[in-house]
Structure 1
Amino acid sequence: MSKGKVLVVGSNATRIEIQGGKTGPTGQYLNETVVPVMALIDGGYEVILATPDGTKPHIDEASLSAQHFGGDAKAFERAKAFYAGDPSMNRVRTIRQVIDDGLDSYAAVFVPGGQAPVVDLMQDPELGEVLRHFHTQKKPTALLCHGPVAVVAALPMAREFRAALVAGDHAKAEALAKGWQYAGYKMTVFNASEEKYVEDQILHGKMYFTMPEALTAAGGMVVSGTVDFAPHVIEDRELITGQNPRSDQLLGATLLKALEREVVAI
């Protein structure tokens, strides 16, 4: 018998803007998606995957490596098989369908990383509805790597906020963020020096803004770990954020503990 349902909100983005009017390949990271999801399922929870358009998220090819699984080739193969074949990853709904069917039945929400959420989720109004609901209900809200930037979707003018960041107008972005639900929360996210590696080695170009810049402009208290690419998770009230791909297992474990606390409280 299921302990409850967890909503996983994925991205549909496959390209991301880089400076100079160009774009680079993007998507969700395999390990950041399946490691926490498999932990939730092993912990007795049912997972429902939703995206803006109801199609399955694209996996960034940069994440298709055993190095993201501690060099464990068997774990990498299990992850690929899980994402390809498990029903939880293939019965995809739109975010709107999930909202219309009612969010009260969900115990938590999880947003995986990869750079893709920077493109669509951080400015998606329907994800904004989801986040505001879980914030109001004080239910666990977990986001990993680039995923934490998606919490700005809770802003009424999230699209304008993102556009201001792309334009380099941080004063305008800060003005648009007044009254943000997560202002003053401690949180972490893929930091600028970690991003530089991706820009240099994968995108071959610079992004328009860093993730800490975005969350700080919105009013978040961003705290990075002392070592790049080392596991780092911050939990502040209902918000659980993980900094980078190697935070996948720690974030999943932290989310499970938060869910168990909710069960005990009930």
Structure 2
Amino acid sequence: MSKGKVLVIGSNATRIETKDGRTGATGQYLNETVVPMLALIDAGYEVVLATPNGAKPHMDEASDSAEHFGGDVAAYEKAKAFWANDTSMNSGLTLRGAIEQGLDNFAAIFVPGGQGPVVDLMIDPDMGEIARHFHEKGKPSAYLCHGPIATVAAMPHAREFRSALVAGDEAKAREWAKGWQYAGYKMTVFSDTEEKVVEDYVLHAKLYFNMIEALTAAGGDVSKTKIDFEPNVVIDRELITGQNPRSDHPIATALIEALDRRLAA
């Protein structure tokens, strides 16, 4: 019998804009999505996938590698098979559909990364409604890598906030961020120096803003590791954030522990 349902929120983005006026390929990271989902299932929880349009997320090609599984080819192949074939990955809802099912039916939310959330989730009104519900109820809310940027959707003027960041107007962004529910929370996110690696070797272009800059402008108390790509999870109240792809196992552990504590209370 399931211990409860966890709403896994994915992105539908396939491209992200860059400063040269073009776009680069993006999507959702394989390990960041599947490792926590499998851990939740193993711990007795049911996972329900939802995206803005209800379609399955696009896998970021940069994540399609055993390197993101510590070189464990068997773990990589298991994750690929889960992504391709498991019902949990292939019978998703729209975000609106998840809301209409009743958010009280879900014990937690989990938002994995890849740069996709920077494109769609951070300005999606349904994502905002979901984030606000879990914040107000104090229910575990886990966001990994670029995933924490989706918390921006909860603010009253998320779209204007993002536009100000793209325009390079940090002062205006701070103005639009007023009323953000997570202002003052301790958190982490994919760092500026980690993003530079992606910009230099994957995108071959610069993004309009980095994630630490964005969440700091919003009012978050953002920290990062001294060494890039070291695992890092920050917990503040109901909010659980992981810094990078290598934080996949630690954030899964933290989320399951938070769920189990609520279940035992």
* Normalised-by-shorter TM-score class: over 0.9
- Structure 2 residue 45 is matched with structure 1 residue 39: no
- Structure 2 residue 162 is matched with structure 1 residue 159: no
Pairing of 1:221-232 with structure 2 (within 5 A): 221-232=221-232
Tell me which residue corresponds to 2:131: 131
- TM-score by structure 1 length? 0.99
Partner of 2:16, secondary structure, is: strand
What is the letter of the counterpart of residue 14 of structure 2? T
CA distance in 1, matches of 2:112, 2:20: 28
Pairwise CA distance, 1:154: 0.2
Tell me which residue corresponds to 1:3: 3
CA distance in 2, matches of 1:249, 1:173: 33
Compute the RMSD of aligned alpha carbons: 0.5
Contact 2:233 2:240 in 1 (8 A): yes
Pairwise CA distance, 1:242: 0.2
Pairwise CA distance, 1:103: 0.3
Q: Which runs of 5+ in 2 are unaligned?
A: none
CA distance in 1, matches of 2:60, 2:96: 25
Contact 2:65 2:76 in 1 (8 A): yes
CA distance in 2, matches of 1:119, 1:180: 19
Contact 2:165 2:214 in 1 (8 A): yes
Pairwise CA distance, 1:100: 1.1
Pairwise CA distance, 1:49: 0.3
Contact 2:156 2:179 in 1 (8 A): no
CA distance in 1, matches of 2:155, 2:203: 28
- TM-score by structure 2 length? 0.99
Tell me which residue corresponds to 1:86: 86
CA distance in 1, matches of 2:179, 2:161: 13
Q: Which runs of 5+ in 1 are unaligned?
A: none
CA distance in 2, matches of 1:120, 1:41: 27
What is the letter of the counterpart of residue 91 of structure 1? S
CA distance in 2, matches of 1:64, 1:125: 30
What is the letter of the counterpart of residue 73 of structure 2? A
Pairwise CA distance, 1:101: 1.5
Tell me which residue corresponds to 1:207: 207
Deviations 1:32-72 (A, max 9, x none): 00000000000000011000000000000100000000000
Pairwise CA distance, 1:227: 1.3
